[in-house]
Every structure is written in structure tokens, then in C-alpha cells.
A and B are shown apart, each in its own frame.
Chain A
Amino acid sequence: MTIRMTRPGRSGILDWLIQRVTAVIVAAFIVAMLVWLLSTGDVTYAAWKGLFATAWMQSFTLLALLATCVHAWIGMWTVGTDYIQTGNLGKYAETLLFLYQLGCALVLIFYLLWGINILWGN
């Protein structure tokens, strides 16, 4: 049952707060991007590259990326522990839940690393 139970010290309040804070960060990032897109008349490769060359934009993007990953992890974990149950899936539910969580974790880690690579690669 360990995968279904909470990690030591994990609290519902913290999860709940993190979900809200990360949502705000991601929303702010989206708004910022929209503002930039609308205010920049001609979105050229150079302009785009220039935007992401600044340190603050790199930090903001990394922050948004991290927020997305954390947000998604908590969300996917919650969805998994709701729907992947012995009640509907039988005795393999725990194994399935483990594989599902492993899958989610790998995908999120991949995205995170890929994002870092894009930002600071080359």
C-alpha cells in the first residue's frame, strides 16, 4: 500500500497549496508569453531567440517548467489514486498504479531535462 499512501511528511495541505502556487506561476508565464506575442509585431527567429537569451526569461521559463512538472505530478498522482483501484481493476491494481506512477515520473523528468537542455543547450 505504500505507493497509495502518502510519503512520510507529505501533507494534503502542502499538496493543495503547491497546486495553487504552481498554477499561478504557469498562468503568469502564459500571460507573459501572450503579452510578448501580441506586442511583438513580427515574431522572427531572432526575436524569439533574443527573448530566451535573457537571464530573467530563462529563470522564469525554468520556474514555469518546474511548476508544470510539480503540478502535473500531484495532479496525476491524485487521478491515479482515484481511478486505479482494486475495486474496478482487481488484484493487479497496485502494480498498475506503480507502473502508472513510474510512467508519469519518467515523462515529467524527461520533459524537465529536455526543457533545461533547450534553455541552456548548445
Chain B
Amino acid sequence: MSNTPILEFDAIIVGGGGAGMRAALQLAESGNKTAVLSKVFPTRSHTVSAQGGITCAIGSEDPDDDWRWHMYDTVKGSDYIGDQDAIEYMCSVGPQAVYELEHMGLPFSRTDNGRIYQRPFGGQSKDYGQGGQAARTCAAADRTGHALLHTLYQANLKAGSVFFSEWFAIDLVKNAHNAVVGVTAICMETGEVHYIKARATVLATGGAGRIFQTTTNALMNTGDGTGMSLRAGFPVQDIEMWQFHPTGIAGAGVLVTEGCRGEGGYLINRDGERFMERYAPNSKDLASRDVVSRSMVLEILEGRGVGDESDHLLLKLDHLGAETLHSRLPGITELSKTFAHVDPVKDPIPVVPTCHYMMGGLPTNVHGQGISLDKDGNDRIIEGLYAVGEAACVSVHGANRLGGNSLLDLVVFGRAAGLHITDALAEGMDSLEASDNDIDAALSRLNRWNNSSACGESIASLKKELQNCMQFNFGVFRKEEPMQESMRILSDLRERISNACLTDKSKLFNTARLEALELDNLLEIAEATAICAEGRKESRGAHARDDYQERDDENWLAHSIYDPQKKQVGKRAVNLKPRTVDPFEPTARSY
């Protein structure tokens, strides 16, 4: 029998990053009893690491800019599997969402006439690709994510949101009708376990870059919400689509913003050649990220890499001059000195494509409502469950996200979910209470770790094996056989992880337990990634296969959808019906 203490809210938001806090703000300002649960103090969430900016057609750099051009770029960037209704919503609502951030106090950089500064970013164009490079990314120097996250936290303080800082969500609680009615969670400081009951549960847990050995992601990016929803039997969509950012600092994995290339920096190989001119004659270094990353890997594979091992390339910035670097890219200058021992004012930064972003996630509609498929393959709303931000797959990024669209995704869909939940709560949104068994089920994996007895393998070494497996087999280029081998390795790892033990079982601030619980989530996502990557037999966006090198619109102009119960990959239709504009038909994608 469960005697777990219960805390009750209208809405519980799991994750205190940009998306979660934007949703919380909307809910708190509407007077709903809202709580944000976050495993770190909210301003330490990974949104803080976003650098370059938030892309949005506010028409500051170009008064004629049009959100439809932004929509075109995003659809093209997604390699045509972004849902066009969702992209339309994001690009058209975007300006309002950005102005709201400014009104909250976000310290955007400014143009001479006092408007928000916008810089060029990859994959941006004017006039549906016909008018040359656009400058559409609103920036606060190269610390936009930091400025955005702190501003949202501050706005939530003002609105009086309730925060459960340093609480870790264990699993979703489902009732007899398969509706989500909250989460079980552990307070790290005391080790106490609670059932947080809520009429709406919002997953805003971000990405899971830590399934890879090298990533720009924070150490805590373990996809906890995605892991929870997979364990609850809900699907993930397009999870094989992992973005490799062209410029992670070689050896360290730390991100160097695309804004560097937006401000005029470019990549060079060992011969000092600006090689992107060969791969993308028009956009050059500002082609979309999948294109640049593939080009870089090809350069390295063809022996034109830099360094003793010829394993990286160089990002040249010195020609921009010290003043531009200090005013527009101060954070990069700092990171580069710390992690590459290079001062970009004088020397180029060693960079290599590095895992950066999870395009996939829980499929949702534009209101953030989670979707699963019924047995006939039709969409079915998951009652009580929402997802926003990187954890969700709305899908606005499709097979490849454009730089600067992530922060926009966070605020637009965080806000949209908040609006929808407010309406739904007002209309009455009650479902069956969770039974003690339902709550106990959501505590079972915690109990397993707590009761694990002496055994061999350590959590740290199992995690390393998992990360190695993903790093070597699911990188920029993918091959059938290694992927199939990985599926076996991962299924073996599942067995070994279920026998691993927790050596430290103390209650107070037990980070060893936290890492064990995170490992469960990493495993769920790694396995889903492997199965979907193997299953999508084409190359599209970030998913490039040696054995299927072409895009196959006939068979795969579709979302992949992964069923965690059957461990199978299926298809879900892409939305090609925007409401106010004509759809963008798939064409060959060149930059």
C-alpha cells in the first residue's frame, strides 16, 4: 500500500528551462496553482548555454522581413518533415513571444535606432530563398540563452510561481484510463519521495545529448521526461534525428555559437581553404547545420583535417577584429581561451561536429498536448500529458533544426501549452484519481535501485559503454551493420543495467542515486534512437546513411514513430496543411 505523501497542483511542470518556465509563467499569471519541478536550480538549466540567439521575423534588420520567409527556411531546414501547421504557428506567433520577453526585461543587444539587434544565422534567407542571406536572429551578445533563462526566472519570481528546486521526477503516474495524473518525485536535499498530483503534467525536460560521449550538452541532459514517457508506454517521434553542431570545441565538446559564422567567421581546413565554398556555393558557412557538419566530416575523412591526428578543423575569427569579438562574441572569446587555449582575436579555434540537439521527442500538437497512436495508427491525445521544448516533437524542426529556432520553440510552445492548459482547466479537466497501485508502479524503478544488492558493475562504467556505443555508431554518418550490432549491445546493456547496483543508498543529496535514475532514461532514449535510425532507410536532414544516401520522399516523407512496448518503428504523417499559407512542397535541398 502506498503511503507516499501527496502534493496537489493544477499543473506540474517538470523541468525549469526556457520552455518549462515560459509555460509556468503563463499559468501562474492566469492564476492557476502551478509548480515547476527542476533537478537543478532553474537558472542552471541547459537553456543557459544557448548562445547565438532567437530567430524571429521582427523586422529590425530588414523592415520588409516576413514570418513566411522564416517559415520557408524552417520547412526547408527540416528537410520537409517538419509539421507545417506547427512551423506556421511558431513563425507567426514568434514576434509577439519575443516582444513579451523584451518587455520582461531581456537585455537584447540593440541597433543604432534602439531596436533589437539581429544577426545572420545558418539556413536563413529572404524572399523564400530568392533574396540572399537574411539576418533574423535576435541576440543578447552571445549569451542569449543565459539572458533569456534568467529573465524568465525573474518573471516567474514576480508572478509568484512555486518552484521545487533540486527535485527529481522519477516516473509518470497513470490512472486506470491511461491518463497522466502527475509524477512521483524525490526531493534531493532530504531524499523524501512524493506523489505530485496534477491535472496537467508538462514535460519540459530538454534533450538527452548525454547518450553520446561527446556533446555540447550539460552533464545533466539525460532526457528524463522522454525516458519517463517511454516507460509509461508513450511513443517518441523522429528520435533518430540528432543534430551535430558544426562547431564544438575539439576535445572539450563545448559549443561555439553559429553566430561566429553569422558575424563573418568561417571554417578552414589544413590547407587554409574555406572549404564550405565547395559544398554550399551560395550560403557557404551559413548553410544549415546538417550540411556543414557532413562537409566537415568529409573534409576530415579525406585527410584535410587539422592537428596531430588530423581530426578537427579550424574556425577563423581573427579577421573580424578585437572590437567585434569583444562586443558581439565575448563569451566565445572566454570559452575559447579556457577550453582550447586559443585567443580567437589572434588564432583560429579548433572545432569538430558535436552532438547538440534532439529533434525528436514526444509527439504533440501545437498546444503541447502529447499524442500517441491507437491500434489503427490514428492520433490520440494523451489525457493530462503535455510536452514542450526539446523534449517535445511538435514538430517544428523535422530532420534538422535551424540555429536560433530552439529558443523560439521554447517560448512559443511553452506559452501555447500554458494558454491551452489554462483554458482546459477552466473548462474542467478532471480525471480518475490514481490508485495506490498506480503510484506504486511509478515508484518501482526507484525501489529497484534502492533494493539492489551487491553486484559487479558500476553505474559509471555502464554509462560509458552506452555513450561509446552511440558515439561510434550514430554519428554524422551511419551504417546498417554497426547500427544493428548496437541494437544488440543496447539490449544487452538493458539486462546489465537491470542487475547493476547502487552502492550509496543514503538519503541526503544522493547524487549517485540520481545518476542511476538518469542512466535508466539514457538507455530508453539510446535504444529508441538505435531502432529508429536503423529503421529509417533513407538519408534526410541530420540522418545520413552510407547505404541509403538519397532522400526517399516516396516512402519516408513521414515521421518515424517508435512504440516502446513493441520496440518497433512505424510512420506518422507529416502535416502539410498550414492554415494561412500555401504548403511548401518538398524539393531538392541545396544551400
Q: Do chains A and B touch in the complex (CB under 8 A)?
A: no
**Residues of chain A having any CB pair with chain B under 8 Å:** none
**Residues of chain B having any CB pair with chain A under 8 Å:** none
